[in-house]
Structure 1
Amino acid sequence: MKVVKVKAIDDYQLKITFENEEEKTFDVKPYLNKGIFTELKEPQVFYAVKTSLGSITWPSGQDFSPETLYMEGK
């Protein structure tokens, strides 16, 4: 399931639209104290999320698989 649109919203949440037009909200907070994801605590970094190759990424290289985003999204 590919990601076609992503938007960072308040409280470290991502609003994600998938190729089947389904929308889900993904909570990044559980990851913010793990490895390279700690950089996402900075709002200017977190809000720089974009789509890339059917998933999402940040300028510093953090990413999630589209499967994780879909399965854990609500």
Structure 2
Amino acid sequence: MLANIGFPGLILILVIALVVFGPKKLPEIGKAAGHTLKEFKKSARDLTGDAADEIKEARDIVKGDESK
């Protein structure tokens, strides 16, 4: 979806955001958005790591059962 915006569309969005929020509020909004994205990535990384750990444990259990 965002790949179809292009450079002129991005400039238009930034100008509209500048008009709506003002120059003092934009850095705060950007910082909050960056922090939110960072937390989302961290949570997703933790979730996939937990799933990988569970899969590894299941494989270890299955391999242990096969040797009996």
- State if a TM-score over 0.5 links the two structures: no
Task: Decide which structure has greater helix share.
Answer: 2
**TM tier, smaller:** under 0.3
TM-score (norm 2): 0.24
Normalised TM-score (structure 1): 0.22
- Structure with the greater relative contact order (CA < 8 A, sep ≥ 6): 1 or 2? 1
